[in-house]
Homo-oligomer: A and B are copies of this chain.
Protein backbone atom coordinates (compact mmCIF):
# COMPACT_ATOMS: atom_id res chain seq x y z
CA UNK A 1 0.00 0.00 0.00
CA UNK A 2 2.41 2.73 -1.12
CA UNK A 3 1.91 6.03 0.64
CA UNK A 4 3.26 8.74 -1.67
CA UNK A 5 2.17 11.82 0.31
CA UNK A 6 5.28 12.33 2.44
CA UNK A 7 5.22 16.10 1.91
CA UNK A 8 1.92 16.20 3.78
CA UNK A 9 2.89 14.02 6.74
CA UNK A 10 5.06 11.02 7.45
CA UNK A 11 4.21 8.12 9.74
CA UNK A 12 6.21 8.30 12.95
CA UNK A 13 9.81 7.24 12.52
CA UNK A 14 10.74 4.23 14.69
CA UNK A 15 13.07 6.51 16.63
CA UNK A 16 10.23 8.98 17.21
CA UNK A 17 7.97 6.24 18.47
CA UNK A 18 10.63 4.89 20.78
CA UNK A 19 11.57 8.34 22.12
CA UNK A 20 7.92 9.27 22.60
CA UNK A 21 7.25 6.14 24.59
CA UNK A 22 10.34 6.51 26.72
CA UNK A 23 9.73 10.16 27.48
CA UNK A 24 6.05 9.69 28.28
CA UNK A 25 7.21 8.31 31.61
CA UNK A 26 9.78 11.04 32.25
CA UNK A 27 8.47 14.08 30.44
CA UNK A 28 4.84 14.51 31.45
CA UNK A 29 5.38 16.88 34.38
CA UNK A 30 5.51 20.68 34.39
CA UNK A 31 9.16 21.61 33.79
CA UNK A 32 8.76 24.86 35.73
CA UNK A 33 8.09 22.95 38.96
CA UNK A 34 10.84 22.46 41.49
CA UNK A 35 10.08 18.82 42.29
CA UNK A 36 11.95 15.86 40.83
CA UNK A 37 9.27 15.12 38.21
CA UNK A 38 9.40 18.73 37.03
CA UNK A 39 13.19 18.82 36.95
CA UNK A 40 13.33 15.57 35.05
CA UNK A 41 10.92 16.95 32.45
CA UNK A 42 12.99 20.12 32.29
CA UNK A 43 16.16 18.17 31.60
CA UNK A 44 14.46 16.33 28.74
CA UNK A 45 13.25 19.61 27.31
CA UNK A 46 16.74 21.11 27.52
CA UNK A 47 18.28 18.11 25.81
CA UNK A 48 15.68 18.17 23.04
CA UNK A 49 16.26 21.86 22.50
CA UNK A 50 20.00 21.33 22.20
CA UNK A 51 19.59 18.51 19.70
CA UNK A 52 17.08 20.44 17.63
CA UNK A 53 19.19 23.60 17.66
CA UNK A 54 22.20 21.67 16.45
CA UNK A 55 20.19 20.25 13.54
CA UNK A 56 18.78 23.68 12.71
CA UNK A 57 22.12 25.43 13.08
CA UNK A 58 21.32 27.90 15.83
CA UNK A 59 21.91 28.35 19.54
CA UNK A 60 19.59 26.46 21.90
CA UNK A 61 18.36 29.72 23.41
CA UNK A 62 17.34 30.88 19.94
CA UNK A 63 14.95 27.96 19.42
CA UNK A 64 11.49 27.41 20.87
CA UNK A 65 9.03 24.60 20.38
CA UNK A 66 5.50 25.37 19.23
CA UNK A 67 2.42 23.17 18.81
CA UNK A 68 2.85 23.02 15.02
CA UNK A 69 4.71 24.48 12.07
CA UNK A 70 1.69 26.69 11.52
CA UNK A 71 2.04 28.11 15.03
CA UNK A 72 5.75 28.65 14.41
CA UNK A 73 5.04 30.65 11.25
CA UNK A 74 2.24 32.65 12.84
CA UNK A 75 4.34 33.44 15.92
CA UNK A 76 7.39 34.34 13.82
CA UNK A 77 5.49 36.72 11.57
CA UNK A 78 3.56 38.48 14.33
CA UNK A 79 6.59 38.65 16.61
CA UNK A 80 8.84 40.37 14.09
CA UNK A 81 6.14 42.68 12.75
CA UNK A 82 5.34 43.86 16.27
CA UNK A 83 9.00 44.07 17.27
CA UNK A 84 9.91 46.12 14.20
CA UNK A 85 6.82 48.27 14.08
CA UNK A 86 8.93 51.42 14.07
CA UNK A 87 10.57 50.35 10.83
CA UNK A 88 7.24 49.94 9.10
CA UNK A 89 4.44 47.53 8.44
CA UNK A 90 5.69 46.03 5.19
CA UNK A 91 5.78 42.26 4.78
CA UNK A 92 7.40 40.70 1.72
CA UNK A 93 6.94 37.07 0.74
CA UNK A 94 7.05 34.86 -2.31
CA UNK A 95 3.83 34.07 -4.16
CA UNK A 96 4.22 30.36 -3.43
CA UNK A 97 4.51 30.28 0.37
CA UNK A 98 2.54 27.81 2.45
CA UNK A 99 -1.03 28.87 3.19
CA UNK A 100 -0.16 29.24 6.90
CA UNK A 101 2.11 32.12 5.96
CA UNK A 102 -0.46 33.63 3.61
CA UNK A 103 -2.98 33.52 6.45
CA UNK A 104 -0.54 35.30 8.76
CA UNK A 105 0.04 37.93 6.06
CA UNK A 106 -3.69 38.46 5.57
CA UNK A 107 -4.18 38.79 9.33
CA UNK A 108 -1.42 41.39 9.43
CA UNK A 109 -3.01 43.38 6.63
CA UNK A 110 -6.44 43.26 8.23
CA UNK A 111 -5.33 44.06 11.77
CA UNK A 112 -2.70 46.73 11.20
CA UNK A 113 -3.32 48.07 7.71
CA UNK A 114 0.15 46.84 6.84
CA UNK A 115 1.13 46.08 3.27
CA UNK A 116 1.97 42.68 1.86
CA UNK A 117 4.22 42.45 -1.19
CA UNK A 118 4.18 39.21 -3.14
CA UNK A 119 7.29 38.37 -5.11
CA UNK A 120 6.38 36.53 -8.31
CA UNK A 121 7.97 33.22 -9.27
CA UNK A 122 9.09 31.78 -12.58
CA UNK A 123 7.50 28.84 -14.35
CA UNK A 124 9.43 26.49 -12.06
CA UNK A 125 8.10 28.17 -8.94
CA UNK A 126 11.33 29.90 -7.93
CA UNK A 127 11.86 33.56 -7.08
CA UNK A 128 14.74 35.44 -8.67
CA UNK A 129 17.01 36.92 -5.97
CA UNK A 130 17.19 40.26 -7.76
CA UNK A 131 13.40 40.43 -8.03
CA UNK A 132 13.11 39.60 -4.36
CA UNK A 133 15.68 42.25 -3.47
CA UNK A 134 13.75 44.78 -5.54
CA UNK A 135 10.62 44.08 -3.52
CA UNK A 136 12.28 45.19 -0.27
CA UNK A 137 11.34 48.75 0.54
CA UNK A 138 12.14 51.19 3.31
CA UNK A 139 9.13 50.15 5.31
CA UNK A 140 9.73 46.41 4.95
CA UNK A 141 9.78 44.97 8.45
CA UNK A 142 9.96 41.28 7.51
CA UNK A 143 10.75 39.14 4.50
CA UNK A 144 9.65 35.50 4.17
CA UNK A 145 10.80 32.77 1.87
CA UNK A 146 10.36 29.02 1.96
CA UNK A 147 13.47 26.89 1.56
CA UNK A 148 11.66 24.67 -0.92
CA UNK A 149 8.15 24.58 -2.26
CA UNK A 150 5.74 22.12 -0.67
CA UNK A 151 3.72 21.46 -3.81
CA UNK A 152 6.23 21.25 -6.61
CA UNK A 153 9.50 20.68 -4.74
CA UNK A 154 11.42 23.61 -6.23
CA UNK A 155 14.22 24.98 -4.05
CA UNK A 156 14.38 28.70 -3.47
CA UNK A 157 17.61 30.76 -3.59
CA UNK A 158 17.48 31.33 0.17
CA UNK A 159 21.15 32.20 0.68
CA UNK A 160 21.10 34.89 -2.02
CA UNK A 161 17.82 36.34 -0.78
CA UNK A 162 19.12 36.28 2.80
CA UNK A 163 22.14 38.25 1.61
CA UNK A 164 19.93 40.83 -0.07
CA UNK A 165 17.79 41.06 3.07
CA UNK A 166 20.85 41.52 5.26
CA UNK A 167 22.04 44.31 2.99
CA UNK A 168 18.71 46.04 3.51
CA UNK A 169 18.62 45.29 7.23
CA UNK A 170 15.46 43.23 6.85
CA UNK A 171 15.18 39.96 8.79
CA UNK A 172 14.38 36.92 6.65
CA UNK A 173 12.04 34.24 7.96
CA UNK A 174 12.58 30.90 6.24
CA UNK A 175 9.81 28.32 6.18
CA UNK A 176 11.99 25.21 6.20
CA UNK A 177 9.17 22.73 6.72
CA UNK A 178 9.92 20.69 3.61
CA UNK A 179 13.71 20.84 3.53
CA UNK A 180 14.83 20.63 7.16
CA UNK A 181 14.89 16.81 7.27
CA UNK A 182 17.35 16.89 4.36
CA UNK A 183 19.79 19.35 5.86
CA UNK A 184 20.21 22.73 7.51
CA UNK A 185 19.20 25.86 5.63
CA UNK A 186 22.24 27.68 4.30
CA UNK A 187 22.63 31.42 4.39
CA UNK A 188 22.16 34.26 6.83
CA UNK A 189 18.52 33.72 7.70
CA UNK A 190 17.09 35.46 10.77
CA UNK A 191 14.16 33.21 11.61
CA UNK A 192 13.36 29.64 10.69
CA UNK A 193 10.20 27.61 11.12
CA UNK A 194 9.71 23.87 10.79
CA UNK A 195 7.26 21.08 11.53
CA UNK A 196 8.12 17.68 13.00
CA UNK A 197 5.54 15.52 11.25
CA UNK A 198 7.29 16.31 7.97
CA UNK A 199 10.27 14.21 9.07
CA UNK A 200 8.46 11.47 10.97
CA UNK A 201 8.36 13.26 14.28
CA UNK A 202 5.03 13.07 16.08
CA UNK A 203 2.26 15.50 15.21
CA UNK A 204 1.99 18.48 17.53
CA UNK A 205 5.53 19.85 17.32
CA UNK A 206 6.74 22.89 15.44
CA UNK A 207 9.96 24.82 15.90
CA UNK A 208 10.73 28.50 15.65
CA UNK A 209 14.31 29.78 15.66
CA UNK A 210 14.87 33.51 16.11
CA UNK A 211 18.46 34.69 15.84
CA UNK A 212 19.80 36.85 18.64
CA UNK A 213 19.50 40.49 17.71
CA UNK A 214 16.23 40.21 15.82
CA UNK A 215 13.72 42.56 17.38
CA UNK A 216 10.87 40.34 18.45
CA UNK A 217 7.73 41.14 20.45
CA UNK A 218 5.58 38.05 20.92
CA UNK A 219 1.91 38.59 20.31
CA UNK A 220 0.00 38.58 23.62
CA UNK A 221 -1.26 36.68 25.47
CA UNK A 222 2.02 35.05 26.40
CA UNK A 223 3.24 33.26 29.48
CA UNK A 224 6.57 32.15 30.92
CA UNK A 225 6.85 29.13 28.60
CA UNK A 226 9.38 28.92 25.79
CA UNK A 227 10.97 32.32 26.39
CA UNK A 228 7.53 33.89 26.20
CA UNK A 229 7.21 32.90 22.54
CA UNK A 230 4.90 29.88 22.72
CA UNK A 231 2.33 29.83 25.52
CA UNK A 232 0.77 26.73 27.02
CA UNK A 233 1.88 23.57 28.74
CA UNK A 234 4.77 22.05 26.75
CA UNK A 235 4.39 18.68 25.08
CA UNK A 236 7.77 17.37 26.16
CA UNK A 237 7.41 13.73 25.12
CA UNK A 238 6.54 14.85 21.58
CA UNK A 239 9.32 17.42 21.55
CA UNK A 240 11.85 14.81 22.59
CA UNK A 241 10.58 12.49 19.87
CA UNK A 242 10.74 15.28 17.31
CA UNK A 243 14.35 16.12 18.11
CA UNK A 244 15.45 12.48 18.21
CA UNK A 245 13.82 11.64 14.90
CA UNK A 246 15.29 14.72 13.23
CA UNK A 247 18.75 13.48 14.16
CA UNK A 248 17.86 10.03 12.90
CA UNK A 249 16.61 11.16 9.50
CA UNK A 250 19.55 13.50 9.12
CA UNK A 251 21.92 10.58 9.57
CA UNK A 252 20.31 8.94 6.53
CA UNK A 253 19.60 12.09 4.57
CA UNK A 254 22.51 12.07 2.15
CA UNK A 255 22.16 8.45 1.07
CA UNK A 256 18.37 8.32 1.10
CA UNK A 257 18.11 11.70 -0.58
CA UNK A 258 20.28 10.52 -3.46
CA UNK A 259 18.28 7.34 -3.83
CA UNK A 260 14.90 9.12 -3.84
CA UNK A 261 16.28 11.73 -6.21
CA UNK A 262 16.94 8.89 -8.65
CA UNK A 263 13.41 7.56 -8.31
CA UNK A 264 11.95 11.04 -8.78
CA UNK A 265 14.11 11.55 -11.87
CA UNK A 266 12.74 8.32 -13.26
CA UNK A 267 9.16 9.51 -12.74
CA UNK A 268 9.93 12.89 -14.26
CA UNK A 269 11.52 11.33 -17.33
CA UNK A 270 9.13 8.44 -17.91
CA UNK A 271 5.75 10.07 -17.26
CA UNK A 272 5.70 12.26 -20.38
CA UNK A 273 6.65 9.21 -22.43
CA UNK A 274 3.90 7.08 -20.88
CA UNK A 275 1.05 9.56 -20.63
CA UNK A 276 0.00 11.88 -23.45
CA UNK A 277 -0.54 15.55 -22.61
CA UNK A 278 1.12 15.54 -19.23
CA UNK A 279 3.09 18.48 -17.86
CA UNK A 280 5.72 17.76 -15.24
CA UNK A 281 6.11 20.91 -13.17
CA UNK A 282 8.79 22.34 -10.89
CA UNK A 283 12.50 22.88 -11.40
CA UNK A 284 14.27 19.92 -13.05
CA UNK A 285 17.43 20.20 -10.90
CA UNK A 286 17.06 22.59 -7.98
CA UNK A 287 14.50 20.54 -6.11
CA UNK A 288 13.70 18.49 -3.05
CA UNK A 289 14.83 14.89 -3.41
CA UNK A 290 11.42 13.32 -2.84
CA UNK A 291 8.75 15.45 -4.53
CA UNK A 292 7.51 15.29 -8.12
CA UNK A 293 4.37 17.01 -9.43
CA UNK A 294 2.58 16.76 -12.73
CA UNK A 295 -0.65 17.88 -14.34
CA UNK A 296 -2.69 16.05 -16.97
CA UNK A 297 -4.77 17.73 -19.64
CA UNK A 298 -8.45 16.78 -19.71
CA UNK A 299 -8.30 15.19 -16.29
CA UNK A 300 -10.20 15.87 -13.09
CA UNK A 301 -7.66 15.80 -10.27
CA UNK A 302 -10.01 14.28 -7.74
CA UNK A 303 -11.06 11.52 -10.13
CA UNK A 304 -7.42 10.73 -10.81
CA UNK A 305 -6.72 10.62 -7.06
CA UNK A 306 -9.46 8.04 -6.73
CA UNK A 307 -8.22 5.99 -9.68
CA UNK A 308 -4.75 5.92 -8.12
CA UNK A 309 -6.21 5.10 -4.72
CA UNK A 310 -7.95 2.13 -6.29
CA UNK A 311 -4.47 0.97 -7.28
CA UNK A 312 -3.41 1.54 -3.64
CA UNK A 313 -1.41 4.73 -4.21
CA UNK A 314 -1.98 7.63 -1.80
CA UNK A 315 -1.05 10.94 -3.40
CA UNK A 316 -2.33 14.50 -3.21
CA UNK A 317 -3.52 17.09 -5.70
CA UNK A 318 -3.46 20.84 -6.13
CA UNK A 319 -6.30 20.80 -8.64
CA UNK A 320 -9.33 22.86 -7.74
CA UNK A 321 -11.46 19.83 -8.47
CA UNK A 322 -10.34 18.36 -5.15
CA UNK A 323 -10.60 21.37 -2.95
CA UNK A 324 -13.52 23.00 -1.26
CA UNK A 325 -12.36 26.46 -2.28
CA UNK A 326 -13.11 25.96 -5.98
CA UNK A 327 -9.79 27.55 -6.89
CA UNK A 328 -6.67 25.77 -8.03
CA UNK A 329 -3.60 25.80 -5.82
CA UNK A 330 -2.12 29.28 -5.50
CA UNK A 331 1.28 27.73 -6.19
CA UNK A 332 0.32 26.40 -9.62
CA UNK A 333 -1.44 29.68 -10.32
CA UNK A 334 1.65 31.71 -9.47
CA UNK A 335 3.74 29.46 -11.70
CA UNK A 336 1.24 29.80 -14.53
CA UNK A 337 1.15 26.07 -15.23
CA UNK A 338 -1.64 23.66 -15.96
CA UNK A 339 -3.67 22.87 -12.83
CA UNK A 340 -6.10 20.28 -14.10
CA UNK A 341 -5.34 16.69 -13.32
CA UNK A 342 -2.65 17.82 -10.91
CA UNK A 343 -0.95 15.17 -8.79
CA UNK A 344 1.84 15.56 -6.25
CA UNK A 345 3.89 12.46 -5.55
CA UNK A 346 6.11 12.74 -2.48
CA UNK A 347 8.11 9.67 -1.62
CA UNK A 348 8.74 8.72 2.00
CA UNK A 349 12.21 7.51 2.98
CA UNK A 350 12.49 3.84 2.23
CA UNK A 351 10.20 3.92 -0.81
CA UNK A 352 10.75 0.72 -2.78
CA UNK A 353 11.89 1.03 -6.37
CA UNK A 354 9.31 -1.57 -7.29
CA UNK A 355 6.53 0.66 -5.99
CA UNK A 356 7.70 3.52 -8.16
CA UNK A 357 7.78 1.23 -11.17
CA UNK A 358 4.30 -0.02 -10.41
CA UNK A 359 3.16 3.58 -10.08
CA UNK A 360 4.53 4.32 -13.52
CA UNK A 361 2.76 1.23 -14.79
CA UNK A 362 -0.66 2.23 -13.45
CA UNK A 363 -0.73 5.98 -14.12
CA UNK A 364 -1.33 5.73 -17.89
CA UNK A 365 -4.39 3.53 -17.41
CA UNK A 366 -5.71 5.67 -14.58
CA UNK A 367 -5.40 8.84 -16.67
CA UNK A 368 -7.04 7.15 -19.69
CA UNK A 369 -9.98 5.96 -17.66
CA UNK A 370 -10.61 9.45 -16.28
CA UNK A 371 -10.32 11.00 -19.72
CA UNK A 372 -12.64 8.43 -21.19
CA UNK A 373 -15.30 9.08 -18.57
CA UNK A 374 -15.04 12.81 -19.18
CA UNK A 375 -15.32 12.38 -22.94
CA UNK A 376 -11.94 13.98 -23.48
CA UNK A 377 -10.60 14.23 -27.02
CA UNK A 378 -8.97 10.94 -27.91
CA UNK A 379 -5.84 11.70 -29.89
CA UNK A 380 -3.05 14.03 -28.98
CA UNK A 381 -4.24 16.38 -31.71
CA UNK A 382 -7.70 16.65 -30.20
CA UNK A 383 -9.54 16.11 -33.44
CA UNK A 384 -13.01 15.17 -32.20
CA UNK A 385 -15.51 17.12 -34.23
CA UNK A 386 -18.60 16.53 -32.21
CA UNK A 387 -18.33 19.52 -29.93
CA UNK A 388 -21.73 19.75 -28.27
CA UNK A 389 -21.68 23.30 -27.00
CA UNK A 390 -20.15 24.90 -30.08
CA UNK A 391 -22.13 27.53 -31.88
CA UNK A 392 -21.07 29.69 -34.80
CA UNK A 393 -20.94 33.42 -34.30
CA UNK A 394 -20.35 35.62 -37.35
CA UNK A 395 -16.84 36.96 -37.49
CA UNK A 396 -15.96 35.86 -34.01
CA UNK A 397 -15.15 32.24 -34.63
CA UNK A 398 -16.71 29.66 -32.38
CA UNK A 399 -18.11 30.25 -28.90
CA UNK A 400 -18.13 27.41 -26.40
CA UNK A 401 -20.50 27.78 -23.50
CA UNK A 402 -18.95 25.99 -20.51
CA UNK A 403 -20.75 28.00 -17.85
CA UNK A 404 -21.48 26.01 -14.74
CA UNK A 405 -19.00 23.30 -15.70
CA UNK A 406 -16.01 22.59 -13.44
CA UNK A 407 -12.46 21.82 -14.53
CA UNK A 408 -11.39 20.10 -16.70
CA UNK A 409 -14.62 20.37 -18.73
CA UNK A 410 -14.04 23.89 -20.14
CA UNK A 411 -10.69 22.82 -21.58
CA UNK A 412 -12.15 19.57 -22.90
CA UNK A 413 -14.92 21.50 -24.64
CA UNK A 414 -12.34 23.84 -26.14
CA UNK A 415 -10.26 20.96 -27.44
CA UNK A 416 -13.29 19.19 -28.89
CA UNK A 417 -14.23 22.04 -31.19
CA UNK A 418 -10.82 23.43 -31.91
CA UNK A 419 -10.37 21.39 -35.04
CA UNK A 420 -13.56 22.89 -36.48
CA UNK A 421 -12.23 26.42 -36.85
CA UNK A 422 -9.85 27.41 -39.61
CA UNK A 423 -6.30 28.55 -38.90
CA UNK A 424 -6.45 32.22 -37.94
CA UNK A 425 -9.91 32.00 -36.40
CA UNK A 426 -10.68 32.08 -32.68
CA UNK A 427 -12.52 29.97 -30.18
CA UNK A 428 -14.03 31.75 -27.20
CA UNK A 429 -14.72 29.75 -24.05
CA UNK A 430 -17.28 31.11 -21.62
CA UNK A 431 -16.48 29.80 -18.17
CA UNK A 432 -17.16 30.66 -14.55
CA UNK A 433 -14.65 28.14 -13.28
CA UNK A 434 -11.62 29.78 -11.70
CA UNK A 435 -9.32 27.06 -13.03
CA UNK A 436 -10.05 28.00 -16.63
CA UNK A 437 -7.99 31.17 -16.21
CA UNK A 438 -4.96 28.98 -15.63
CA UNK A 439 -5.74 25.95 -17.72
CA UNK A 440 -6.83 27.53 -21.02
CA UNK A 441 -3.55 29.49 -21.43
CA UNK A 442 -1.70 26.33 -20.32
CA UNK A 443 -3.51 24.33 -22.99
CA UNK A 444 -2.49 26.89 -25.61
CA UNK A 445 1.12 26.65 -24.51
CA UNK A 446 1.06 22.84 -24.66
CA UNK A 447 -0.70 22.83 -28.04
CA UNK A 448 1.33 25.66 -29.60
CA UNK A 449 -1.81 27.77 -30.12
CA UNK A 450 -2.21 31.46 -29.36
CA UNK A 451 -3.87 32.59 -26.16
CA UNK A 452 -5.40 35.95 -27.05
CA UNK A 453 -6.67 36.89 -23.60
CA UNK A 454 -9.77 37.15 -21.48
CA UNK A 455 -12.59 39.64 -21.26
CA UNK A 456 -15.59 39.95 -18.96
CA UNK A 457 -18.81 38.32 -20.17
CA UNK A 458 -22.42 38.59 -19.05
CA UNK A 459 -21.79 35.48 -17.02
CA UNK A 460 -18.30 34.36 -16.10
CA UNK A 461 -15.35 35.22 -18.28
CA UNK A 462 -14.71 34.86 -22.02
CA UNK A 463 -11.33 33.26 -22.78
CA UNK A 464 -10.21 33.72 -26.39
CA UNK A 465 -7.87 31.35 -28.21
CA UNK A 466 -6.64 31.70 -31.81
CA UNK A 467 -5.78 28.73 -33.97
CA UNK A 468 -2.31 29.27 -35.39
CA UNK A 469 -1.57 25.80 -36.75
Contacts and interface: CB of A to CB of B under 8 A. Distances in A.
A74 B221 contact: yes
Interface in A307-364: 309, 314-316, 322, 324
Interface in A225-262: 231-238
A67 B71 contact: yes
Nearest to A28: B11
Nearest to A313: B35
A232 B220 contact: no
Interface in A350-381: none
A9 interface: yes
Nearest to A17: B24
A221 B100 contact: yes
Interface string A7-40: 0111110000100110011011110011111100
Interface stretch (A52-60, A180-188, A198-206): A198-206
Given A106-B220, A231-B74, A237 B202 contact: yes
Contacts of A315: 35
Interface of A: 1, 3, 5, 8-12, 17, 20-21, 24-25, 27-30, 33-38, 67-71, 74, 99-100, 103-104, 106-107, 110-111, 195, 197, 202-204, 206, 220-224, 231-238, 302, 305-306, 309, 314-316, 322, 324
Given A8-B30, A8-B33, A67-B235, 18 more contacts: A5-B35, A9-B29, A9-B30, A11-B28, A20-B20, A27-B203, A33-B316, A35-B305, A35-B316, A36-B314, A67-B68, A68-B231, A70-B232, A70-B233, A74-B231, A99-B223, A204-B204, A204-B235
